[in-house]
Amino acid sequence: MRQALFTGAAPNVSDAYTINGQPGDLYGCSSKDTAKFSVASGETILLRVINAALNQELFFSVANHKLTVVGADAAYNKPFTTSVIMLGPGQTTNVLLTADQSPGRYYMAASPYQTAQNAAFDNTTTTAILEYESAPCSRFSSKPTLPRLPAYNDTATVIAFTNQLKSPSTVEVPTEIDENLFFTVGLGVVNCNPSPRCQGPNNTRFAASMNNISFVPPRRTSLLQAYYQNIPGVYTTDFPPVPPRQFDYTGNVSRALWQPIFKTRLYKLKYGSKVQIVLQDTAIISTEDHPIHLHGYQFYVVGQGFGNFNPGRDASKFNLIDPPLRNTINVPVGGWSVIRFVADNPGVWLMHCHIDSHLTWGLAMNFLVENGVGASQSIESPPADLPRLPKELVNLDKRVQSMQNAFKHLKSSRCDEPVQWFGSDKIRLFGYTCTGSDITRTVAHAGQLGGAGLERHTCWELRFY
């Protein structure tokens, strides 16, 4: 990810997927360590399946065995059986499996679900082994049976699976909506001049946004801290409730709409407000399934579909009886999902795509949920032992910032990878070689850099983790 952020290109694809840390038999490198799950004939086991991959949605299946889905994202659902489940990064699914097949060994396997057009991905399959304790020795010398996994682009199977997820019984879904929000989710690009930092397609860097705002994380103060302590200049609260411009989101989007703007904008919610959000995929660069995750809340998924959301046509089909409760929802490729929740958890809460490259490109926004009445409806004060920045580092931060400001107006660019000078888990100082056409004046201004008149200089960057 760090390399991708430097170059502006897509991250390298992985070499392998793993189940409980092991790639499995199909990679030919770790078969003696392949993860094994032993089961007694006739018993029913619970598998908690978590997609812990960084950048890939995955199918999961067990050869010859049905999976009974009983929970997703830590909420129960109406049990249903299926031969395959799909999880986006960060999603969890609990399934029951009954060992009702002839005693032997069966592969459980995961393979990619990939929806972005022309994007490289790791098209391999990871396996673990479901092993019956009573399996005869002869079964151990032969290869376990492999499950039939869907093709990498099998969206129909994904939709058939997610359509079956429902709450166990009738639930209380907010109906009188106070905040009717519509957020586009998708990729973008930023034009740049050829350089080591401009390695995206056709002189661009990849970006991503919600409602055309590419989220810029605060560098020095957390959003919650800035809110709690009234620190100005860290964020603004003008995140747009609807796209700044309407367009045919899933059609052929004009190039003029591909460049997002980079801001730290929050959307304010009153305590207790009833919120509906339409999450609308865009076709910018490519349509793609995005697993959108909201912190601080579970929400009801009342509807999903393909194309552009149309309230007249689609709202009447919402499931307001037993919609599933989730915290990460797949916005279908070239489609939309609608979620509802009550904003009764005050604080600052990130909503973001759980594909890590999309998140770091800016596919995120934050809600600022205000306090209600009394202590039980207000955020708690920070713990007494909240770590504070050491004084010398605060000063150093200011020094580095003034140097960075001095360089701002320059056409300065990096020549090499930053080198870490010192740091801890939280803070690291990097130095790197930089160039600039107007370097002399800047060097004089920045003072401490020296070497006026040279074409190359050392620039500094302080990073917070």
Binding-site ranges for Cu ion (CB under 5 A): 290, 353, 355, 358
DSSP string, 361-416: HT-EEEEEEPP-SSGGGSPPPPPTT-----HHHHHHHHHHHHHHHHHTTS--EE-S
* Residue 48, φ and ψ in degrees, nearest 5: -95, 105
Q: Which is nearer to Cu ion, 109 or 355 (CB)?
A: 355
Q: Which is nearer to Cu ion, 91 or 167 (CB)?
A: 91
Q: How far is the CB of 358 from Cu ion (least distance, A)?
A: 3
Q: Which is nearer to Cu ion, 275 or 355 (CB)?
A: 355
Question: Quick check: helix, strand or coil at residue 72?
Answer: strand
Q: Which of 253, 179, 265, 175 is nearest to 214 (CA)?
A: 265
Q: How far is the CB of 153 from Cu ion (least distance, A)?
A: 16
Q: How far is the CB of 354 from Cu ion (least distance, A)?
A: 7
Q: How far is the CB of 452 from Cu ion (least distance, A)?
A: 46
Q: Which is nearer to Cu ion, 25 or 57 (CB)?
A: 57
Give 61's contacts (C-beta < 8 A, 6+ positions apart). Answer: 67, 83, 84, 85, 108, 109, 147, 148, 149
Give 436's contacts (C-beta < 8 A, 6+ positions apart). Answer: 407, 410, 411, 412, 413, 442, 457
Q: Which is nearer to Cu ion, 39 or 364 (CB)?
A: 364
Q: Which is nearer to Cu ion, 358 or 457 (CB)?
A: 358
Q: How far is the CB of 235 from Cu ion (least distance, A)?
A: 22
359 neighbors 90 (Cβ within 8 angstroms):
no
- Strands ordered across the beta sheet of 105-113: 36-39, 126-132, 105-113, 57-62, 84-87
Q: How far is the CB of 288 from Cu ion (least distance, A)?
A: 6
Helix, strand, coil percentages in the chain from 3-state DSSP, rounded to 5 = 15, 35, 50
Task: Report H helices in 202-310.
Answer: 223-228
Q: How far is the CB of 205 from Cu ion (least distance, A)?
A: 17
C-alpha 265/C-alpha 368 separation (Å) is 10
Q: Which is nearer to Cu ion, 67 or 355 (CB)?
A: 355
Helices 439-446 and 391-407, axial angle in degrees (round to 10): 160
16 neighbors 124 (Cβ within 8 angstroms):
yes
Q: Which is nearer to Cu ion, 186 or 324 (CB)?
A: 186
Q: Which two tokens mark 54?
A: 């960084």
Q: How far is the CB of 355 from Cu ion (least distance, A)?
A: 4
